[in-house]
Amino acid sequence: MIVCKGDFTLSQELEIVISPEGKVQIEVKGVQGPGCTELTRFLEEALGTVDDRTFKAEYYVSGSTGTGIQHQQY
């Protein structure tokens, strides 16, 4: 699952959780707008197909501050 918010800030952060079943969930924090997809592109390419992607309200906000969140599940 992917939940996404955009432009990079100085406090951007990736949280990666791997379930016992092997599912990977990635949460991006500190990003607004579509920049979260750029931030996680290398992980998406390494892990394979994204099963689910969710964009939160901050993804659609213009600007360079915020606490963006992106979840990806593989």
The radius of gyration computed from the CA coordinates of the chain, to the nearest angstrom, equals 11
C-alpha 26/C-alpha 7 separation (Å) is: 17
- Is pTM beyond 0.85? Reply is no
How many CB atoms neighbour CB 21 within 10 A? 5
Count of H helices and E strands in the chain? 1, 5
Amino acid at 59: Y
- Per-position pLDDT tens, the chain of length 74: 555 554 444 578 888 899 999 889 888 888 888 888 888 889 889 988 888 888 877 788 765 444 444 555 55
